[in-house]
Amino acid sequence: MEVLKSKTLKISEEKDLLNIRGLIREYAGEIGLPEIYKVKLLTATSEIARNVLKYAVSGRMTIRILSDIYKGIEVICEDNGKGIADVDSAMKKGFSTSGSLGLGLPGAKSLVHVFHIDSKLSVGTRVRLIVWRK
């Protein structure tokens, strides 16, 4: 797997979210990602970024163009927040500790081809998404 392009952006306030969306749109355009995959990736990224703003306050997001059998876009989101106590529960639809719809993480997972989550209490959370241009 080869990384063709990579850029890291911070997330600490709402307007960073729009910058991240902008960069994903740019990369998606470069590899000719179909509209539906682009919208799914943008939505999944929004869900993840929103979690950072809500629970960890700040973090960073690395967006990369990958080249393997297919081209794809990878989004890695890292924060130094308090971490998720129960990752398995957090991945279930309808589970929320904040009164939201509880669709964020499980929803994001069903929107992308690859979804990994690692979280350690009081260390932080790392989420990795990939959408391939199949």
**Cα end-to-end distance, the chain, whole Å:** 15
Nearest distance, CB of residue 25 and another protein, angstroms:
9
Nearest distance, CB of residue 81 and another protein, angstroms:
18
User: What residues pair up with 115 in beta bridges, in sequence order?
Assistant: 129
Q: Mark residues 41-80: x for contact with another protein by CB under 8 A, - for none.
A: -xx--xx--x------------------------------
Nearer to another protein, 5 or 21 (CB): 21
Interface region with another protein, contact rule CB under 8 A, candidates 61-69, 83-91, 104-112, 114-122: 104-112
Kindly write down the DSSP assignment for every residue of 47-105, as one continuous string.
HHHHHIIIIIS-EEEEEEEEESSSEEEEEEEEE-S---S-HHHHTSTT--SSSS-S-HH
Among 5, 9, 21, 113, the residue binding another protein under the rule CB under 8 A is 21
**CA dist., res. 13 & res. 85, Å (int):** 24
